[in-house]
């Protein structure tokens, strides 16, 4: 458990008991409750907006990178990797998969393809520009 910070202040008394007297006051700052870092205000991944999820994915990747760079314990790296995986899974769950149908070329398209690759300039089209 961390101890609270203590501040020592020396004060010179301008008036009062004896002018010029100094005394010391020790003030203890209250200890703030420890907050978990790296999460967006404790919001569950399912409740995040798409923008918040994007930020969470960036943050979690950053935490994993920094943990591996500093040589953190295996447990820390595993937790960080799990956080990245959870954010990726949530993002993939939200992204709709749209199958792309293969494009069939019709017989008439072959002529268009050949003329499109031709380097000649159409004079009528050029004059309209």
Structure tokens, 126: 């050029």
| Short-list 64, 56, 4, CA closest to 33 | 4
Checking if the pLDDT of 98 tops 80, the result is no
- For residue 56, the tally of other CB atoms under 10 A from its CB is 22
Q: Could you tell me what percentage of the chain is helix, strand and coil, using 3-state DSSP and rounding each to the nearest 5?
A: 45, 10, 40
Cβ neighbours for 45, distance < 8 A, ≥ 6 positions apart: 53, 56, 86, 87, 90
Specify the pTM. 0.47
Please report, rounded to a whole number, the percentage of residues in the chain having pLDDT higher than 90. 29
The rounded distance, in Å, linking the Cα atoms of 67 and 71 is: 6
The pLDDT of residue 1 is: 47
State pLDDT tens for residues 51-97. 889 999 999 999 999 999 999 999 999 999 999 999 999 999 987 76
The pLDDT of residue 100 is: 76
Most confidently predicted of 4-8, 23-27, 79-83, 118-122: 79-83
Checking if the pLDDT of 121 tops 50, the result is yes
The rounded distance, in Å, linking the Cα atoms of 33 and 50 is: 30
């Amino acid at each position: 458990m961390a101890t609270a910070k203590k501040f020592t202040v020396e004060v010179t008394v301008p008036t009062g008991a004896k002018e010029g007297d100094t005394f010391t006051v020790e003030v203890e700052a209250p200890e703030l409750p420890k907050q978990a870092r790296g999460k967006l205000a404790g919001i569950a991944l399912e409740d995040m907006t798409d923008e918040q999820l994007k930020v969470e994915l960036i943050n979690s990747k950053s935490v994993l990178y920094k943990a591996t760079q500093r040589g953190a314990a295996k447990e820390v790296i595993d937790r960080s990797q799990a956080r990245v995986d959870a954010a990726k899974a949530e993002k993939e769950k939200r992204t709709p998969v749209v199958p792309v149908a293969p494009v069939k070329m019709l017989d008439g398209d072959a002529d268009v393809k050949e003329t499109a690759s031709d380097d000649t300039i159409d004079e009528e089209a050029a004059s309209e520009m």
